[in-house]
Structures are given as C-alpha cells and as structure tokens.
C-alpha cells in the first residue's frame, strides 16, 4: 500500500480512538500489522501523529488552556493551581513510564497483549458502570489536588497498550466521585502534558529514523489525526450526555477474539 494511504488510515484511526475509551495505541498496533507497517519507524510514526490529536484537545478546550496562562478569579481550574493539578495527575504515569518504557516497547507491543488489555479494560468498564457511585464532583473546577493525583494513579493502567488512557482516567474519576462527563473532560485536559512529554521523549530518541523525504508522510498523518480527533472529542462529549461507557466495553470485547484468532 502507498505510504500516503497508510498515513491517512493511521491518522484517522489515531484521531478517532485517542480520546475514546478503546485505546488508540492498541488500534494502531493492530492496524500496523494489518497494513504491514511495523518496526521502530512505524512505532515512532504512531507517536508523531499523536501530537495532532493533542493539538485538537488544545483547540477544543482553548479557553481552559488559555486560562492556565491568564488566571481568572472566578475560575478555580486556572493559573498556577490548574497547572499544579495537571502536574499531579501526570506524575504517577510519567515516573512509571520512564522506568518501564524499554520493557513496554519490548514485551507489550503485540496484537496478543493488546487483545488482553482490551478485554481487561472492557471488564473494568462494566464493573465501574455497575457499582453504585456517589457523584460529588460536577465541574472540573471542583477537582482537588488529591483527586487529581488519584486520577493520575489510575492513568498508570494506560501504560499497558490496549487498555486506553482515556478509559483509565475516566473510570478512575468516576470511582473517585466525579461525574462521568466531567471525568471525560478532565481526561482530555490531563492528556495534553503527559502525551506531549511521552511523544516528545520518544521522538527525540528516534527522529533519526526519518529523513526529509518523510516530512510529507508525517505531516499528512499529523493533519488527519488532528481533524479526526477534533470530531471524536465533540462527538464523545455529546454521547456521554446520553449513554454510559458500556457500548465501548462491548466493542472492546468483540475485538478480542478477532485479534486473537486472525492476528
């Protein structure tokens, strides 16, 4: 398949799945095997197009991110306090990721491990949606430092490719008393610093795999990822007002036998 088509397909997959509780990394690993686009260069390409998805979050929640630089007295999640909350959420997965990055790349980037992660995450979604919860937090501005750190601890589950960072943080927030839609919004905001750090770290280590001829290939994947992520974020927030996370769990469970049998 021509590289341009691969860039478009992977860009769409990355953007549509990055912020849904279905795991973009897992989908990219599976798609890469189907398309025959695997190896160190493919893994770094997947990292680069994640930056497009990150940019989509910044655009959609521009007021929130701008508020981190220009704090307002009537908005608690702003200025240094908002940055502090995001920092606390990023700490657990960042530290654990630095310690285990080599082993994750070596042992967990395969269709089989992704399938088990999809299944484990699906079961956890069903359990979290089924247990009684007391929704105490109905706005991002009500999130406390301890709550931000607690959500960050759940985010560590996303280091297992296929589990989904979005699923981990949303479920963590829900278990800690955050309203589902608010947990999703905070999940989007918290994704930016940790994803930017992870993608930047990985790209700096492997940028030499690409040359000037790859710039168009990378830019297409980046742009498509941005556009599809923007649409996915808008659609997901709308759906959360009407549905639970269970349909995503069912989708994940349907993928597991397909992956195990055919990949």
Per residue of the chain (263 residues), what is the pLDDT tens digit? 788 899 999 999 999 999 999 999 889 989 998 999 988 888 888 888 988 999 999 999 999 999 999 888 888 999 999 999 999 999 999 999 889 988 888 888 889 999 999 999 999 999 999 998 888 999 999 999 999 999 999 999 999 999 999 999 999 999 999 999 999 999 999 999 888 887 777 777 777 777 777 889 889 999 999 999 999 998 998 888 788 999 999 999 999 999 999 88
pLDDT of amino acid 180: 92
Cα distances (angstroms) measured from residue 157 to each of 97, 118, 152, 167: 10, 12, 10, 9
Place of tokens 């589950």: 157
With a CB cutoff of 8 Å and minimum separation 6, the contacts of 99 are none
d(CA 191, CA 263): 29
d(CA 67, CA 11): 29
d(CA 55, CA 153): 24
Closest CA to 229 of 43, 10, 35: 10
Q: How many domains does the chain have?
A: 1
Cα distances (angstroms) measured from residue 137 to each of 92, 155, 174, 191, 252: 22, 19, 9, 19, 28
pLDDT of amino acid 42: 87
Identify the domain containing residue 172 by its residue range.
3-262
3 state DSSP class of 241: coil
Count the residues in the chain: 263
CA quadruple 214, 217, 223, 229: dihedral, nearest 10: -110
d(CA 1, CA 31): 13
Tokens of 133: 């919860």
Cα distances (angstroms) measured from residue 134 to each of 125, 131, 177, 179: 17, 10, 6, 9
Using only C-alpha atoms, the chain has a radius of gyration, in whole angstroms, of 18
pLDDT of amino acid 21: 94
Place of tokens 């991110």: 65
Per-position b or e across 176-206, b if 16+ CB within 10 A of its CB: bbbbbbbbbbbbbbbbbbbbbebbeebbeeb
């Amino acid at each position: 398949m021509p590289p341009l088509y691969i860039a478009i397909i992977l860009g769409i997959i990355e953007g549509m799945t990055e912020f849904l509780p279905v795991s973009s990394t897992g989908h990219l690993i599976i798609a890469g095997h189907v398309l025959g686009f695997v190896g160190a260069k493919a893994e770094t390409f997947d990292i680069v197009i994640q930056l497009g998805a990150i940019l989509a979050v910044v655009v959609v929640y521009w007021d929130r991110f701008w508020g981190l630089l220009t704090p307002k007295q009537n908005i608690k999640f702003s200025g240094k306090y908002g940055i502090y909350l995001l920092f606390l959420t990023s700490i657990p997965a960042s530290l654990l990721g630095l310690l285990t990055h080599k082993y994750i790349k070596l042992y967990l980037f395969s269709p089989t491990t992704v399938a088990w992660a999809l299944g484990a995450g699906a079961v956890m979604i069903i359990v979290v949606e089924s247990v009684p919860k007391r929704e105490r937090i109905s706005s991002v501005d009500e999130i406390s430092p301890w709550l931000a750190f607690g959500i960050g601890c759940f985010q560590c589950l996303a280091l297992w490719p296929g589990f989904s960072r979005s699923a981990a943080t949303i479920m963590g927030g829900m278990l800690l008393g955050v309203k589902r839609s608010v947990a999703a919004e905070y999940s989007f905001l918290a994704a930016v610093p940790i994803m930017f750090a992870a993608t930047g770290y990985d790209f700096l280590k492997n940028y030499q795999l690409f040359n000037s001829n790859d710039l168009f290939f990378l830019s297409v994947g980046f742009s498509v990822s941005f556009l599809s992520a923007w649409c996915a974020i808008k659609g997901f927030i709308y759906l959360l007002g009407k549905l639970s996370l269970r349909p995503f769990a069912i989708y994940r469970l349907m993928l597991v036998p397909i992956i195990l049998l055919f990949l």
